[in-house]
Amino acid sequence: MEKLIDLESVKLILKERLKPKRYLHSIGVSNTSVRLAKLYGVCEKKAEIAGILHDYARNLSHDELSQYINEFKIATDEVIDTQVDLAHGLIGAELVKNKFNIEDEDILNAIRYHTTGRKHMSKLEKIIYLADYIEPNRKAAEVEKIRSIALYDLNKAVLMALDNCIKYVIKKGLLLHNNSILARNSLILERISVKT
């Protein structure tokens, strides 16, 4: 259980930091994450904190993101070096760790990997990834269908959201991060092992 973190003051800081639309999105992700946490037996407080803070670094410019990559000695690769926006999760986790004294690695990892996903995501990581896709302000592909599947099959809903993100990346001609491929394979293998 994460120790005393005053969510009201976190919200005030976020409201200053993020554009109004991004702030509302963060509130939406937090509320959706709490609902999913309740459904899938995850600590609701952790989901609320990770949800509200997942886009903490989303307001940073490319230059600022690059500076933080150096400052925090974040390991990058050619995909992140080329599409530095992808680092907002990795950097956001470091920033909130220092700013709000968040030590819970599950919360930090949920923030870190919400952009790409990764192999063997924890339930909290999956919840934040999914909530980012289906929160009420989102109008993404198949979002209604995924919202309803999210109510009874977490892995299937995360896989569908991930597949749609991968399709988007391909359609846009962008680089696909290895972690997204690993996340996808890992989810499919988990689903196979549950069925057998």
Among 47, 48, 55, 179, binds Fe ion (CB under 5 A): 55
Q: Supply the minimum distance, in Å, between the C-beta of residue 110 and Fe ion.
A: 11
Q: Supply the minimum distance, in Å, between the C-beta of residue 131 and Fe ion.
A: 9
Q: Does 104 bind Fe ion (CB under 5 A)?
A: no
Surface-to-core class of residue 45, CB atoms within 10 Å of its CB (0-12 exposed, 13-18 middle, 19+ buried): middle
Q: How far apart are CA 87 and CA 53, in angstroms?
A: 15
Comparing CA positions, the residue from 73, 27, 162 lying closest to residue 154 is: 162
- Looking up tokens 């920033």, which residue turns up? 95
Of the listed pieces 13-21, 54-62, 97-105, 137-145, which binds Fe ion according to CB under 5 A?
A: 54-62
Total residues contacting Fe ion by CB under 5 A comes to 2
Of the listed pieces 39-47, 126-134, 155-163, 166-174, which binds Fe ion according to CB under 5 A?
A: 126-134
> Considering beta carbons, is residue 59 or 178 the nearer one to Fe ion?
59
Q: Is residue 42 a contact partner of residue 123, using CB atoms and an 8 Å limit?
A: yes
Q: Supply the minimum distance, in Å, between the C-beta of residue 90 and Fe ion.
A: 11
Q: How far apart are CA 136 and CA 17, in angstroms?
A: 21
